[in-house]
Chains A and B, each alone.
Chain A
Amino acid sequence: RKEVEQDPGPFNVPEGATVAFNCTYSNSASQSFFWYRQDCRKEPKLLMSVYSSGNEDGRFTAQLNRASQYISLLIRDSKLSDSATYLCGLVDSWGKLQFGAGTQVVVTP
């Protein structure tokens, strides 16, 4: 079983709608959590860190549920430019950063 799992999608979202998706992890000792965004044929870039209390950055909201071992990302008022693959990352108990395979989001006009 992979340590970090994501629904690959694609999530097809009408412009202006809300989309949310999760990332589950298997190691309960995992420490820091992140969401990265990756555009087609480009490198991943940090979207936001995920804090225990949950956090917002504009239209993006990230949540951490340690009891159920998942993190989530919600995108409100989706824009065409939000179309990308979203990778979740975590720092495991050995201090190494691990990534999920990514969730593809396609925002349609």
Chain B
Amino acid sequence: NAGVTQTPKFQVLKTGQSMTLQCAQDMNHEYMSWYRQDPGMGLRLIHYSVGAGITDQGEVPNGYNVSRSTTEDFPLRLLSAAPSQTSVYFCASSSPREWDETQYFGPGTRLLVL
């Protein structure tokens, strides 16, 4: 199993550009989430999904869109990049059937918006 994979690993954008961060998991997990991590702020939940076709907003959803057309994939779209979106983005997946609710994280995407 590859676990949770994310692409790209690094990205530089100009203000106003759009892009999609890819996330895929091969563990057949129902739950998938996107977090951003900034110094001193910890991990903050952007959007999450409890299954294919179902998404919901987290703590900091503005400026981001998500969709969940399959169990495996959960892309995060930046509509019009802003310098405030410079961050490290982590995708995570988990299964409600696992009693300890372990979140499995991808390796992260480091995004710089100029």
B107 and A97: CB pair below 8 A?
Answer: no
A99 touching B105 in the complex, CB below 8 Å, given contacts A43-B90, A44-B90, A49-B100? no
Pick from A8, A32, A43, A101: contact of B101, CB below 8 A: A32
- Of the candidates A43, A49, A101, A102, the one having the most CB atoms from chain B within 10 angstroms of its own CB is A43
Residue B71 interfacial (CB < 8 Å): no
Minimum CB–CB distance for B105 against chain A, Å: 4
Contacts of A34 in B (CB 8 A): 101
Tell me, in angstroms, the Cα distance from A97 to B35 when the chains sit together.
10
Tell me, in angstroms, the Cα distance from A36 to B94 when the chains sit together.
14
Contacts of B107 in A (CB 8 A): 42-43
**Chain A: interface secondary structure?**
strand
A43 touching B33 in the complex, CB below 8 Å, given contacts A49-B100, A96-B48, A99-B43? no
- Of the candidates A34, A44, A89, A102, the one having the most CB atoms from chain B within 10 angstroms of its own CB is A44
Contacts of B103 in A (CB 8 A): 36, 44, 46, 89, 97
Minimum CB–CB distance for A50 against chain B, Å: 10
Interface residues of B in 46-64 (CB under 8 A from A): 48, 58-59
Residue A4 interfacial (CB < 8 Å): yes
Residue A65 interfacial (CB < 8 Å): no
- Given contact pairs A32-B100, A96-B58, enumerate 5 new A-B contacts (beta carbons under 8 Å): A34-B101, A44-B90, A49-B100, A99-B42, A101-B40
Closest A residue to B101 by beta carbon equals: A32
Contacts of A8 in B (CB 8 A): 40
Minimum CB–CB distance for A24 against chain B, Å: 13
C-beta contact mask, B10-44 vs A, less than 8 Å → 1, else 0?
00000000000000000000000101000011111
